[in-house]
Amino acid sequence: MKIRALTLGLVSAAVLSSAVLLPMAASAQGLRPAGTPQAPRLTPSVTLPAATATGGRTTTRSADFIVAVVNSEPITNNDVQIRMERVRAQMAGQGGGQQPPESVLAKEVLERLIMEKIQIQNAKEMGLKVDEFAVSQAVKSVAQQNQIAEEDMFRRLAQDGISKEQFRGELRNQMLAQRLREREVDSRVKVSETDIDQYLSEQRNASASSAAVASPEINLGHILIAVPEGASPETVEAQKAKAEKLMVDIRSGKDFFEAARASSDAADAKQGGLMGLRPADRYPELFVNATQKATVGSLVGPIRSPAGFHILKVVDRSLSGVPSVAVQSHVRHILLRMGPKQSEQDAAQRLEDYRRRIESGQATFEALAREYSQDGSAQNGGDLGWAGHGRYVPEFEQVVESLQPGQISQPLLSRFGMHLIQLLDRREVKLSQREQREMIRDVVREKKLDEAYNNWMQETRSRAYVEFREPPQ
């Protein structure tokens, strides 16, 4: 099994925040004031794979040598070879087809290692730190992404030649690099109303210059009742009956998105089955054909595929690429900030005590938020209002999406501090023009962030002293 993890340059959203701030409903200290832009969600992306096919252990030369020096710190041939094996395994696992020549791959890997080392050096020079609690929470998040116990994850990583200490060290370095990016890049990118207007104008011009009838983008809700490969006829019929009953329940008033979270076997279940607004050609042909005549809000299914039985909801159709319908969450939280007198571990323990007091009936969430939360939303009992997908920092949003209404989370660390989160309710709403513009703001900000990050990386690279020695072999 390959463990999805974090690699510099391809950072997991579930663990590391970019500069994405909390929702505009809370114009509070540490939260994004109304109208402040939001950075893009980074997506879980890569695999930390077996190093080689020879028993899962990386084979290294008995006589290692230095291939480059970065501000007095060496990068060795073994460093390059180990990373190259990981890249090869990742490409093979993703069905990447023909791999690049060894010389090209070695050059690209060496350059990435150089950039990683430069970023870590700069982060340390600025005094940025990541403590053990933050690393432990990152480890838990990676395990959750892979739906595996931490002990099993470390056991399988060890089989691939990656020790627990090495894995934690790599996570720590990646978190350092991400905090450096937050400080040096993300917080400086702004999106104006003019930027949004220009984007809309470009979209209209692109539509006018394309085909006369634009192909609409669609957003589908999806529930999968899986049928195992080679299942008996009895199992198939039982799963079909389950899907049909769920369809009846939804038609009778059961919330589709809650049903997806509770019953779907699909990977998008935690998002309430929402697959996202995208062109039709990015959906399975089976789904497109089944829903092409369905109106927005209607249900389709169950339909059969090799994976099982699918129930689909047409959530939205759009010619502009901007959703008109969204699922929103109503959330409140308690925020504790870290400092010289309060470590991350101390804050987590305090929030865990608050959680116990709330669940035992000794206190209310609202009262504790008013008294202890170190956030502007405290005066409202921690209430952040209604917010749609993409309006929270990734790690905060991941927890919100995993909660059921009324449920309280475990303590969560974000770039703002330690949170205790309660999901109050969810709803499906038609977006106002202002809310649609805020979604466009996110798209524009993502583009600007990519450009700013690339420029920053080039500038950082140009200021570093890099000496190349022997080429990797």
Calpha distance 272→258 (Å, rounded): 6
Question: Would you list the DSSP string of 28-53?
Answer: -TTSPPTT---PPPP---EEE--S-S
The vertex-219 CA angle with 217 and 220, nearest 5°, equals 135
What is the predicted pLDDT for the residue at 271? Answer: 77
Q: Give me the domains of the chain, ranges plus CATH numbers.
A: 3-191 (1.10.4030.10), 215-318 (3.10.50.40), 325-430 (3.10.50.40)
SS3 426: strand
50 in Cβ contact with 159 (< 8 Å): yes
Token pair, residue 440, equals 């466009």
Calpha distance 21→373 (Å, rounded): 17
Token pair, residue 199, equals 């984007």
236 in Cβ contact with 194 (< 8 Å): no
All residues at 6 or more sequence positions from 389 whose CB lies less than 8 Å from its CB, including other chains: 271, 274, 326, 327, 397, 401
What is the predicted pLDDT for the residue at 71? Answer: 92
Token pair, residue 260, equals 């997806």
pLDDT in tens, the chain (473 residues): 444 433 333 233 233 222 222 332 232 323 332 233 333 333 233 334 333 333 444 444 457 899 999 998 999 998 898 888 888 877 776 655 677 888 889 999 999 999 999 999 999 999 888 888 888 888 888 887 777 888 889 998 888 788 899 899 989 998 888 889 888 888 888 889 898 888 878 776 765 555 444 556 788 999 999 998 888 999 999 999 999 999 999 998 888 988 898 889 888 787 788 887 787 878 888 898 898 888 888 899 899 998 899 999 988 877 565 667 778 899 999 999 988 888 888 899 999 999 999 999 999 999 999 999 999 999 999 999 998 877 788 788 888 988 888 999 999 888 888 999 999 998 878 777 777 787 788 788 888 988 999 999 999 999 999 999 888 88
Beta strands in 132-246 (DSSP E): 217-226
Calpha distance 260→265 (Å, rounded): 8
Beta strands in 203-243 (DSSP E): 217-226
Distances from the Cα of 424 to the Cα of 74, 123, 273, 368, 403, angstroms: 52, 38, 19, 16, 9
What is the predicted pLDDT for the residue at 2? Answer: 44
Beta strands in 50-134 (DSSP E): 66-70, 73-76
